[in-house]
Amino acid sequence: MEIIKGGVCAAKGFLAGGIHCGIRKNKTKKDLALIYSEKKAAAAAVYTTNKVKGAPLSVTKSNIANGYAQAVICNSGNANTCNADGIEVAEKMCDLIANELKIEKTDVVVASTGVIGQPLDITPIKNGIGSLVASLGKDNSKDAAEGIMTTDTRLKEIAVSFDINGVECKIGGIAKGSGMIHPNMATMLVFITTDCNITPAMLSKALSSDIKNTFNMVSVDGDTSTNDMVSVLANGMAGNDLIDSEGEAFSQFMKALNTVTVYLCRCIAGDGEGATKLLECEVSGAKDENNAKIIAKSVICSSLVKAAMFGSDANWGRILCAIGYSGAEVDVNKVDVSFKSSKGEIPVCKNGAGIEFSEEIAKEILLEKEIGIVVKLGDGDGKSVAWGCDLTYEYVKINGDYRT
């Protein structure tokens, strides 16, 4: 497996584009993105667990119920959520792009991200459809990635090349996500494309399995969004034998998919609103995987832990506190904790109690941009990883006037 360039355009038969159509006031910001497959593709998606869901999610779920799609259209600047005409607008977006691309309107994945509760005017989208399609290109993954960003500070994309029984396949993805990020999906949009030949059923199985240990293990601020979605299109143009059951080929596809999703998870967590650091909590020795997940999530979600990491304060007691209230089955008298970064690793807790350590060395380790929180439990073989970020003054500033 090899990391390659191209994002969602790396796989055969995929084009992408992005423009500013006028949804966002800032004309330097792209606000409309498009991904197009030259051939109808197998499609799968997962959606937010929030009971309040954006209209585009409902339309997409209906559109790809047959397991196929050919295009993805997404706007930023307005979430199209909690609007009386939300479904109508989302369906109109599908109609507009389908007519321009000469495809079926039910072969469109539609998404929106931005402010909740404000009507989405279809006019700028309608006026920009021609320019959006004209922007399609083989080297334009970055334009699409920019078109889906809201408070993101950096672009998120990746692609990998992998082998299926001697046939080269490619898979790539773009993502947005910075705030309103919490386990069980969040205000993230992730679009993945691959030229691997795989059935809709197996594609859905792969995605549903993967997110349990990737996107569902990311938290920025504890708020589960209304509009998050992860979708995958697989057009089969690589020419490998059809993957229609579990086996070696399916396992190879799963590894490639996971490489893409883990990378995007880290990008999203590290670009949390106002964040200065990526936090990665590694839990091992849990009674089972479920308990490991519960503990990793609890540590990553703790506002006190996040604030301590912002201050580069090795306050390990906050980590034990988060473990203690997590609800996991754990013997707190066996818990070991250490902090690590590119500057090294330092143990701070052994068997649930503090140990002597150098505050100066700990500070040096915690001043880095990527921090590892290592938790060893001694209860079994369960392990898990969760990703998050520090909690900063800037987060409050961003969200204090996000709408106005």
Q: Is the pLDDT of residue 204 over 60?
A: yes
Cβ atoms of 251 and 206 closer than 8 Å: no
Distance CA 31, CA 19 (A): 6
Task: Compute CA distances 363 → 54, 309, 339, 350, 357, whole Å.
Answer: 43, 10, 10, 19, 11
Task: Say if CB 84 and CB 47 are below 8 A apart.
Answer: no
Torsion sign (Cα): 251, 155, 225, 112: negative
pLDDT in tens, 181-192: 444 444 589 999
* Closest of 96, 18, 21, 101 to residue 59, by C-alpha: 96
Report how far residue 250's alpha carbon sits from residue 288's, in angstroms, rounded to the nearest whole number.
25
Residue 180 reports pLDDT greater than 90: no
Residue 154's pLDDT band (cuts 50, 70, 90) = confident
Distances (CA, A) of 111 to 21, 81, 234, 325: 16, 11, 18, 36
Neighbours of 51 (CB within 10 A): 7
- What's the longest Cα–Cα distance across the chain? 68
pLDDT exceeds cutoff 50 at 380: yes
Task: Kindly provide the b/e burial profile for residues 114-141, where b requires at least 16 CB atoms within 10 angstroms of the residue's own CB.
Answer: bebeeebebebbeebbeebbebbeeebb
Question: Across residues 216-243, what is the average pLDDT?
Answer: 83
Q: Taking 80 as the threshold, does the pLDDT of residue 236 lie above it?
A: yes
Rg (CA), the chain: 22
| pLDDT given for residue 242 in this prediction | 98
The model's pTM is: 0.85
Select which of 60, 187, 261, 392 is catalytic.
187
pLDDT computed for residue 185 by the predictor = 44
Segment 119-150, tens digit of pLDDT: 999 999 999 999 999 999 999 999 999 999 98
Distance of CA 55 to the CA centre of its chain: 20
Residue 81 to residues 44, 150, 177, 185, 249: CA-CA distances in angstroms? 22, 15, 17, 16, 39
Whether the per-residue pLDDT at 330 is higher than 70: the answer is yes
187 catalytic? Reply is: yes
pLDDT, residue 393, reads 87
Helix (H, G, I), strand (E, B) or coil at 46: strand
For residue 186, the model assigns a pLDDT of 43
DSSP 213-225: GTGGGB-SSS---
Instruction: Strand 336-341: give its sheet, edge to edge.
Output: 353-354, 344-350, 336-341, 370-376, 278-286, 382-389
More confident residue, 255 or 116: 255
Q: Structure tokens of 24?
A: 């966002």
Closest CA to 300 of 180, 204, 396, 218: 218
> Whole-number mean pLDDT of the chain?
92
pLDDT in the model for residue 139? 96
**pLDDT value for 152:** 84
Sign of CA dihedral 277, 282, 283, 285: negative
Say if residue 355's pLDDT is above 90.
yes
What average pLDDT does this structure show over 257-274?
89
Structure tokens at 251: 């396992």
CATH homologous superfamily of 2-270 equals L-amino peptidase D-ALA esterase/amidase (3.60.70.12)
| Residue spans of beta strands (DSSP E) within 178-277 | 189-194, 229-234
Domain extents for the chain? 2-270, 278-400
Q: Which residue has the tokens 């503090």?
A: 354
**CB proximity list for 303: less than 8 A, separation 6 or greater:** 222, 391
Angle at the Cα of 178 (from 13 to 160), degrees rounded to 5?
30
Using an 8 Å Cβ cutoff, are 343 and 352 in contact? no
Does the domain formed by 278-400 have CATH 3.40.50.300?
A: no
Q: Is 175 left (phi over 0), alpha (psi -120 to 50) or beta?
A: beta
Beta strands 229-234 and 189-194, pairing class: parallel
